[in-house]
A and B are shown apart, each in its own frame.
Chain A
Amino acid sequence: MNLFEGITDYLLVMKKTFTRPVKFKTMVQQIVHEMYYLGVESLPIVCFLSLFIGIVVMIQIAFQMESPLIPKYTAGFITRVVIIYEFSPTIMSMLLSGRVGSRIAAEIGTMKVTEQIDALEVMGINSASYLILPKIIAFVLIMPVIITFSIFCGLFGGYLITMITGEIPTSEYFYGLRAFFTSFEITYALIKSLFFGFIITSISGYYGYIVEGGALEVGKNSTKAMVQSSIFIIIFDVILTQIFLG
């Protein structure tokens, strides 16, 4: 694992991505398409994973809370904190880098090895901008939606447990969800989601764009895209946590 492998190449590709974009109208159409393709189509898996994490977190906490000294609403409180601070923005992003990141790298990488990118370039089109920029913009715009959705699903999972087991009364759970709540928690989660959305799309766009060779290299680079985005998500998680909460 070479952490900063090709960081200068990455910056060069990004520079190309953000200069001389194609026609505005074309770009808008692409963004809408990518929002659907990368965002909306990810919602079912996001819902599934978040729901079950909410459920598991609640079961764990309820199981640990034998002591009568701990107020029951603590379960709701902890579930909320875990989901909003870390699970939905960070862990969910890492899972999405598997889905979205490898998809982007494979798509762009295939276009590279089949000379479609050369074909765009000889037509005088900035291929990096044409292919990568709409994906970055679309995904960064839709990430807050995905993460908010994930938070709701996670908290709903916890609610289901209060209904099913009765260990923690539903009213206590809801009280816990609101206890010591500040809207900054949500802001913080959404800010993180913007950063992570950019990390996933730009890194995987880069890995697709630099593929040389054939199908084998496309596969290798999609894996790299996923691994590197996950690593940078964790690194930026630490940095952002220091900045906002430290």
Chain B
Amino acid sequence: MIKVKNLVKKFNDKVVLNNINTTFEPGKVNLVIGRSGSGKTVFMKCLLGLLTPEEGELFYGNKDFYSLSEKEQKNIRKEMGVVFQSGAIFDFLDVEGNVRFPLDMFSNMTQKEKIDRVNYCLEKVNLQGTNKLKSSELSGGMKKRLAIARSIALNPKYLFCDEPNSGLDPQNAVTIDELIYNLTHEFNTTTIVNTHDMNSVIKIGEKVIFLYEGHLWWEGSNENILKTDNKELIDFIFASSLAQKLLKTS
């Protein structure tokens, strides 16, 4: 479980996150939604410890992350899998090398075990047989899937995905949503996904928080989000024409 208390993040004088309070439970897909520029990435980087907030506390289980020593933080980080917005595929390694990288760095597996694990992860994301491809030979969707394969290599307890299906065609986007949902339920991970895709919200948003002008503006799930009377959230949801059609038919 991840718990966020009174989190404030500023850049110079600009307040990007203003007093955020929330909880993310294991075995659930938690979505962070909001317009682009609303602070989703900044929020995720605060959770990862890549950015340090000006105020607030962050608990992984019962451990207060920001007050831990560097070494203890590192131990928690080994339980995190992260899919960055750009994929962040290591371009000095091939497909196999990318998935192997965390295993080489942090596991005591034998060569054979590592290869088996790599192939298992690649199969999970439907990339079996692409082991020797270079990152420049991958399409956008393949890169995102490879990033997911790498993020689950060490069986993470916490899975973070920053806009995992932005820029993908609808079919690929659905595949990735399903993948994230299934991984979360199969391994009981605490999953946090940034998105502005309403399809994902409806499909996999077991918990949804909506960021607006630096505030946590609304909190709920895919079951009650369409019934909301929150004006800003309604504007956000029904900005897309597909959502407007959905509204008319429902």
Residues of A within 8 A of B (CB): 22-23, 26, 110-111, 114-116, 118-119, 121-125
Contacts and interface: CB of A to CB of B under 8 A. Distances in A.
Interface residues of B, number: 24
A114 B143 CA distance: 12
Interface string B230-242: 0000000000000
Q: Which are the 7 A-B pairs with shortest beta-carbon distances?
A: A124-B74, A119-B88, A115-B88, A115-B84, A124-B77, A122-B82, A116-B88
B67 interface: no
Contacts of A121: 50
Given A114-B86, A114-B88, A116-B90, A122 B48 contact: yes
Given A118-B50, A119-B82, A125 B88 contact: no
Contacts of A26: 104-105
Given A115-B86, A118-B84, A118-B88, A123 B105 contact: yes
Nearest to A121: B50
Given A122-B50, A125-B105, A115 B90 contact: no
Interface in B88-125: 88-91, 101-102, 104-106
Interface string B59-90: 00000000000000111011010101111111
Contacts of B80: 122
Contacts of B88: 114-116, 118-119
Interface of B: 45, 48-50, 73-75, 77-78, 80, 82, 84-91, 101-102, 104-106
10 contacts: A22-B105, A115-B86, A115-B87, A116-B89, A118-B48, A118-B84, A119-B82, A119-B84, A124-B73, A124-B77
A123 B106 contact: yes
A26 to B, nearest CB: 8
A123 B77 contact: yes
A124 B48 CA distance: 11
A118 B46 CA distance: 12
A173 to B, nearest CB: 47
Q: B-side binding surface: helix, strand, loop or mixed? A: mixed
Contacts of A22: 105
Nearest to B80: A122
Contact of B90 (A23, A119, A122): A119
A122 B162 CA distance: 14
Nearest to A118: B50
A123 B90 contact: no
B78 A124 contact: yes
Contacts of B49: 122
Contacts of A119: 82, 84, 88, 90
Contacts of B104: 26
A5 to B, nearest CB: 19
A154 to B, nearest CB: 35
Contacts of A114: 86-88, 91
Contacts of B106: 123-124
Nearest to B90: A116
B163 to A, nearest CB: 12
Among B45, B75, B102, B105, residue most surrounded by chain A Cβ atoms (within 10 Å): B105
Given A115-B88, A116-B90, A23 B105 contact: yes
B51 to A, nearest CB: 10
A26 B93 CA distance: 14
Among A22, A26, A110, A118, residue most surrounded by chain B Cβ atoms (within 10 Å): A118
A115 B85 contact: yes
Contact of B77 (A23, A115, A122): A122
A18 to B, nearest CB: 16
Nearest to B154: A123
Among B49, B73, B77, B88, residue most surrounded by chain A Cβ atoms (within 10 Å): B88
B149 to A, nearest CB: 13
A17 B190 CA distance: 33
Contacts of B86: 114-115
A149 B106 CA distance: 41
Contacts of B50: 118, 121-122
Nearest to A20: B70
Contacts of A110: 91
A15 B80 CA distance: 26
